[in-house]
Amino acid sequence: MKKQQTLKMVFIALFCALSIVLVYFIHFPIFPSAPFLEYDPADVMIFICTFLFGPLAGVICTVVVSFLQWFLVSPQSGWYGFVMHIIATGSFVLVAGLIYKFKHTLSGSIIALICGTITMALVMMPANLIITPIFSGMPVSAVWDMMPVIVGFNAIKAGGNAILSFVLYKSVGRSIEKMVKE
């Protein structure tokens, strides 16, 4: 049992490290009108971690990655980027992780990823309306005017990462599950 817990912690740390490597090397803007909204595949590792070890592990991975990303990859985003990443990825991880935990099937994973994507896009609407004006000094009306781009960005980022997670999970997940359960 202790060996399983140790292996689980090692793999969670590995997923955190891989997530940071991905965001460090792969990030680009999706919409020219909002170049600060950058796609990165870092959440793929967090989503796989969530499906392997549950929503709590996914939330822990989210917080660790958000903190490391703040200091190692994008210090210019400051506490704003840290908080927004936790809200965005954390909402996805909680919803998708809980669904997959109770419906641990192929259809359950698809439903979980779709619901996680929708959740992230919807949760980031009020998060941006509340937090972005505080951080940037923009009026709420200006943030509201950007809402189609914000929702589109979050849907594309979450959806793209969900698809990548779905494709990679089976091969990666099976190998890791075998090692942890032995």
Region label for 96, one of left (φ > 0), alpha (ψ between -120 and 50) or beta (otherwise): alpha
Cα 25 to Cα 175: distance, rounded to the nearest angstrom: 26
- Helix-, strand-, coil-residue percentages of the chain, each rounded to 5: 85, 0, 15
pLDDT band at 174 (very low <50, low <70, confident <90, very high): confident
Averaged pLDDT, 131-137: 92
Task: Determine the pLDDT at residue 83.
Answer: 95
pTM, 2 dp: 0.93
Q: How far is the first Cα of the chain from the last one, in angstroms, to the nearest whole number? A: 10
Residues 95/84, Cβ–Cβ less than 8 Å:
no
pLDDT digits (tens, 9 = 90+) for 42-77: 999 999 999 999 999 999 999 999 999 999 888 777
Q: What domains can you pick out in the chain, each with its CATH number?
A: 2-21+40-181 (1.10.1760.20)
Cβ neighbours around 80 below 10 Å, total = 15
Cβ neighbours around 91 below 10 Å, total = 21
Task: Determine the pLDDT at residue 62.
Answer: 98
Token readout for 115 is 């619901």
Task: Determine the pLDDT at residue 182.
Answer: 66
The one-letter code for the residue type at 74 is S
**Comparison of pLDDT for 69 and 171, the residue scoring more:** 69
Task: Determine the pLDDT at residue 127.
Answer: 97
